[in-house]
């Protein structure tokens, strides 16, 4: 009985190890406005999707996953914020 209990517990815990990891796609574009793609970033704002560009692949990705319409900038200058994201460090330590 004890062996069966240990085996059941081991199989239960091993199932979590085989869980599928999420796919994360992080797109970083410099000097692009929020309406720089045809993806609608805010559902209640019709103008949040750009009309100049057609990006059907990004639209498909956005429909299948998550989009974020608000973000935090690590620094007031874009190159410092970009370096902070790429290096994984705060701007004061770069």
**Residue 8 resides in a domain:** no
Please report which residue ranges of the chain form alpha helices under DSSP H.
2-17, 56-64, 78-87
**Residue 19 resides in a domain:** no
Q: Which domain holds residue 75?
A: 31-94
- With a threshold of 0.85, does the pTM exceed it? no
**Residue 94 resides in a domain:** yes
CA pair distance 18, 13, nearest whole angstrom: 9
- Please give the pLDDT value at position 82: 84
**Residue 80 resides in a domain:** yes
**Residue 18 resides in a domain:** no
Looking at the structure of the chain, the number of domains it has is: 1
**Residue 4 resides in a domain:** no
For the stretch 29-83, pLDDT in tens is 777 777 788 888 887 887 888 888 899 998 999 889 888 777 777 888 888 888 8
**Residue 76 resides in a domain:** yes
Q: Is the predicted pLDDT of residue 19 greater than 70, yes or no?
A: no
């Amino acid at each position: 009985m004890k062996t069966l209990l240990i085996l059941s517990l081991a199989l239960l815990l091993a199932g979590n190890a085989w869980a599928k990891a999420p796919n994360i796609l992080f797109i970083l574009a410099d000097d692009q406005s929020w309406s720089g793609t045809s993806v609608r970033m805010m559902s209640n704002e019709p103008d949040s999707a750009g009309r100049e560009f057609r990006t059907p692949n990004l639209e498909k990705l956005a429909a299948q996953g998550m989009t974020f319409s608000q973000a935090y900038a690590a620094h007031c200058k874009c190159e410092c914020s970009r370096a902070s994201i790429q290096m994984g460090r705060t701007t004061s330590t770069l």
